[in-house]
Structure 1
């Protein structure tokens, strides 16, 4: 008997693994049929999951933590046993604003710290306090943007305006002059660049390499009550993710995602992110960025609890939640490596032996202990060189300069 699952998603390139699991038969081979429910905004997607309209969701990782902590509308305990991707977002700004930055795009993207200081200087030259679109207050993009701006002394709550709007409306808002730039997952940054409205200023992959992006989120009680179904879904997603990461499949994947039922944007724009061949200024050659978005390799799907705790640390840093042992424990428990290991126990998928690590400590490919097979982790460095120890959150936060 086939089990039907309703899963909410937003039209973004990083829905790839879910789309491929359904369209290429990986879900069917596990006895599943996925009803992928296209949703416009993260707030709507959140509500569909919390109120039981869907069983799972393609969700911003910080939003899963925020909902669990009661920071975003109706509180509910969510669980994320699978990461759908790492990286895949970028900050684009109107061409007039970008003109005040280093004109060498390759140099601009390769030096996020220097570019942050250029950005800080450009704020003083701009005609108003810059309005930057973010897709949700509790998004990886918004937290990375805050982190990046603060490195140059920019207070994201005082020196710029962060305006929330759905990813699919970012380009339209930029064209209308309602915002001066935005940070969002692909393909929306590329769409703004292709339209000649913006230039790329920074990419998430250069702010936090292998930074957590989207997760597969469940209501915790539903996940605990349906372990066999969850395990089958995770096994299908692992196989789909491996297919997505294969370069030979990128053209077919871009064509699939370009369909109206998924992203509904030109296949070429979508393919750029998949291949890491990003055009950052209209009419110029692509700048290679092979790690722009990852789905499978280097244990990408594994839900490190330390990454949930880094998200938590940023929520504390910006006054969104008060630090306590209980809050930290609940935040860390959103990511469920135990469920991932259970689901893949009978497979040959390499899995880390630990559930937490020092985030930002890997500067070059590193072979690590794995419960099955060989596993090499890629660099996970933060652009400012900081290392996050999940067992010393207070010390980590004390190391940041207070902006106000």
Structure 2
């Protein structure tokens, strides 16, 4: 007998693993019947999860922390036993703005693009105009990585530029209408803007933080504990889906599945490009290969590193201006649940890290790490500014950011 689990999602390429776990039978093999519930905004995905209309959700990682800490609404603890993917987002600007800050047809260096953007921001402000950036949610990695990059280039968010919220399916529309000058969004919505000729891709978020955490599988903590066996079965099914997803032999078939009306309702060609780490930066240009633009499966990519949750908390404190709180930091760290991931995969062929936390941004090249089982080599996980985040010194890191 199959046990039903309902999972909310948005029409984004990085919703691929639950979709493919259903479509290719990986969930069924684990005794699960998945029911996928499509929404159009992260706010609605979260509402369904918190009110019990879904059992789990494809969610932007910081939103799971914000809900747990009671940011903007009554606190309700969420748990993340699985990371659905790293990066996969891009910054797309109006074509005229893109040409002022980068070389057409090429992804620019983040520091160089940032310096050029700073000059444009200052020039626009002298004429009484403030540039506006669209992100998919206040509590999103898009928002925090964009802010981290802007601030690192001397552009202060909320003072020098405005940042507003636009749901992913409407990002290209917001750019076309002039509501925003740039968007930071996941695929395929950057490519939709490019194909419509309303914008050009300037940077990938993987250039800001090479292995930045992006979407996660989130449960209400109480539901995950009550349905622990089902949760662990889903983790195993998602790992199998990830293995299938990253195999180039499956790109065409998976793109066709994701493009269906009940999922992304989009262009299979654009979706396949994202799956294959290919980007068309400007309409009529050449397709660019950017390795690891979107990152699943390898290098323990699905492992919920506690240090990733702590970095997100550091940015939440920085940009909300709430101040560091040790108890809050502990609750934020507890949202990511490597113990559940380990329990689900112990004794399988999947490699498991020996640690649950690491120094983020510390690796410039391949490095073998200690494991609980299997072999893991981690590659470049650097931040664009060369800084590192050691979670041992979280309070100091937060204090240093406040001085920047």
With the shorter chain as reference, the TM-score category is over 0.9
Tell me the distance in 1 between the aligned counterparts of 2:320 and 2:278: 37
Partner residue in 1 for 2:98: 98
The change in CA–CA distance for 1:95 and 1:37 in structure 2 (over 3 A counts) is same
SS at match of 2:137: coil
Partner residue in 1 for 2:19: 19
Tell me the distance in 2 between the aligned counterparts of 1:400 and 1:327: 18
Structure 2's unaligned 5+ residue stretches are: none
CA contact (8 A) 2:104 2:282 kept: no
Partner residue in 2 for 1:193: 194
* Map 1:176-191 → 2, pairs under 5 A: 176-191=177-192
CA contact (8 A) 1:65 1:331 kept: yes
Which 4+ runs in 1 deviate beyond 4 A?
Answer: none
Is 1:233 equivalent to 2:231 in the alignment?
A: no
Partner residue in 2 for 1:399: 400
Partner residue in 2 for 1:382: 383
Give deviations 1:203-259, integer Å, cap 9, x for gaps. 111100111000000000111111111111111011001111111111111111111
Deviation, structure 1 residue 70 = 0.5
State the TM-score, normalizing by the size of structure 2.
Answer: 0.97
SS at match of 1:209: coil
Partner residue in 1 for 2:163: 162
Give deviations 1:311-337, integer Å, cap 9, x for gaps. 001111113533111011000000000
The change in CA–CA distance for 1:265 and 1:320 in structure 2 (over 3 A counts) is farther
In the alignment of these two chains, the number of paired residues is 401
Partner residue in 2 for 1:117: 115
Q: CA RMSD in A?
A: 1.2
Tell me the distance in 1 between the aligned counterparts of 2:214 and 2:89: 9
Give deviations 1:169-190, integer Å, cap 9, x for gaps. 1111111111111100111011
Tell me the distance in 2 between the aligned counterparts of 1:84 and 1:258: 19
Deviation, structure 1 residue 401 = 6.7
Tell me the distance in 1 between the aligned counterparts of 2:59 and 2:322: 20
Is 1:130 equivalent to 2:131 in the alignment?
A: yes
* Map 1:293-372 → 2, pairs under 5 A: 293-372=294-373
Structure 1's unaligned 5+ residue stretches are: none
Give deviations 1:16-72, integer Å, cap 9, x for gaps. 001000000000001111110001110111111111110000000000011101103
CA contact (8 A) 1:144 1:207 kept: yes
SS at match of 1:235: helix
CA contact (8 A) 1:17 1:295 kept: no
SS at match of 1:182: strand
Tell me the distance in 2 between the aligned counterparts of 1:225 and 1:102: 51
Deviation, structure 1 residue 400 = 3.4
Tell me the distance in 2 between the aligned counterparts of 1:24 and 1:178: 40
